[in-house]
Structure 1
Amino acid sequence: MASDTVLLVMDMINDLVHPEGMGAKTYVPLCRERGVYENTVLAIRRAREAGTRVGYVRVGFSPDYAECPPGSPVFSKARENGLFILGAWGTEVFADFAPQEGDLDIIKHRVSPFYGTRLEPFLRAQGIGRLILAGVSTNGVVSAAVREGHDRDYACVVLEDCCAGATKEEHDYALAGLRRYAQVTTAAGVEF
């Protein structure tokens, strides 16, 4: 099964999940409380041991924020707060989840990992049919990946213990809505 599967670790960047990142107050408390750091390390290790490809999806904008939508309730404050600058420390993958040479690296400029990115052409070219998903936020990139992945005929699996929202309620509500479109499991329970 490993050859048709990819583990996507999404928006696990320093700006969002590093304790000293710009957005640390938003996601770090719930990531710590839920064991997201340890579980994500476990998922990546298990995927690599099974021969499953690992990919990373990172939100980011050029230093002049040319791709940043000024009216977006999600991204409009990025420029003002110096968030998500490509090439800066903040958009690097959190060191505990460090990519290895040959891992997929997708840069996105919106919530969705599919919109305006090279993700789908890569998945189609590699014969990937199953997406295992981890990241922040559960109600943002994870939800978008599941819904869009489902509609593109990918089998989607959410590793709920490798995800977090800004609040427990956001996380729980997102998962409740995603169960219709994806299998929901854990880092220890997923079959790679």
Structure 2
Amino acid sequence: MDITRESTALLVIDMQNGFLDDKGSMAAVGLPHRELRPAIAGCRTLVDAARAAGVPVIYTRYVFQPDYADGGVLPNHIVPAMKEVGSLAAGSWDAEIIDELAPAEGEIVIDKSRPSSFYGTRLEPVLTGLGVRSLVICGVTTNICVETTARDAGQRDYFVHVIGDATAEFDKARHEHALTGIGFLFGWVNTLDDVRAAWAA
């Protein structure tokens, strides 16, 4: 399945200070956040290409209420250190999208409190309103929020294109495993060059 401009949106997943900055909460809880930073340049390339091609850009943010009432099992039980450091709390610098990828005026930002960008959010109505049936997906982390979103999109019969060199994971093996799973059943794994060629045509 070829990447197109028509009926397509770029989905930029969770490129937030908390995940990517040295002062962010992932660093504070001891996760190797610098492994995620290679995704920044790829995401920047895709955002620029999408804007130039007239492809809508949609961002997601992983955000919790300050009291973590909507946090569920992850911050409250599996990784309680997230709660202790105020990870991704609504209204915080930690939850904001990094300056390098700041949304332009009018671009949509979807907040979520689970890995999937579809779960409990307005993403699907937004895509329907825009007439989108194909998603180009980039961001972090490959094995968690990117993969979960790609699976949910595939199950909703969107044409899913995950851009391998514009995603990143804390662990390289899990990055590769996630891309293999996505490409096996839920969509296609593509490169920046594939997107540039499609959107420049």
Which one is further off, 47-56 or 13-22? 13-22
Structure 1: any 5+ residue segments left out of the alignment? none
Separation (CA, whole Å) in 2 of partners of 1:38 and 1:161: 9
Match of 1:14 in 2: 17
When normalised by structure 2's length, the TM-score is 0.88
1:50-89 superposed matches below 5 A: 50-70=53-73, 76-89=80-93
- Supply the RMSD in Å over aligned alpha carbons: 1.8
Q: Equivalent residues in 2 for 1:94-109 (5 A)?
A: 94-109=98-113
Match of 2:189 in 1: 184
Q: Secondary structure at the match of 1:19?
A: coil
Looking at structure 2, the residues matched to 171 and 16 of structure 1 have their Cα atoms a distance apart, in angstroms, of: 16
| Alpha-carbon offset, residue 71 of structure 1 | 5.9
Alignment equivalent of 1:48, drawn from 36, 48, 51 = 51
Q: Is the 8 A contact 2:64 2:90 kept in 1?
A: yes
The equivalent residue for 1:30 is 35
Q: Residue deviations 1:41-71, cap 9 Å, x none?
A: 1111011100001010101011111111146
Deviation of the 1:186 alpha carbon: 1.6
TM-score, normalization by structure 1: 0.91
Could you tell me which runs of 5 or more consecutive residues in structure 2 were left unpaired when the two chains were aligned.
Answer: none
Distance apart, 1:182 and its partner CA: 1.4
Deviations 1:125-181 (A, max 9, x none): 211001110111101111111111011110000011111111101101111111122
Task: Pick the structure with more helix per residue.
Answer: 2
Aligned residue for 1:2, secondary structure, equals coil
Which of 120, 126, 129 is the equivalent residue of 2:124?
Answer: 120
Change (3 A) 1:140 1:169: same
SS where residue 163 of structure 1 aligns?
A: strand
Find the counterpart in structure 2 of residue 152 from structure 1: 156
Note if contact 1:17-1:28 (Cα within 8 Å) is conserved in structure 2: yes
Deviates more, 1:174-183 or 1:51-60: 174-183
Say how many residue pairs are matched: 190
Deviation per CA, 1:89-140, whole angstroms, max 9, x where unpaired?
Answer: 0111011111011111100011110000000111112110011101111011
* 1:182–1:14 distance in 2 versus 1, CA, 3 Å: same
CA distance in 2, matches of 1:46, 1:76: 39
1:140 to 134, 139, 144: 144
Q: How far apart are 1:18 and its partner, in Å?
A: 1.7
Q: Whole-Å Cα distance in 1 between the matches of residues 60 and 74 of structure 2? A: 23
Check conservation: 1:165, 1:171, Cα contact below 8 A. yes
Paired letter, 1:133? I
CA distance in 2, matches of 1:159, 1:71: 26
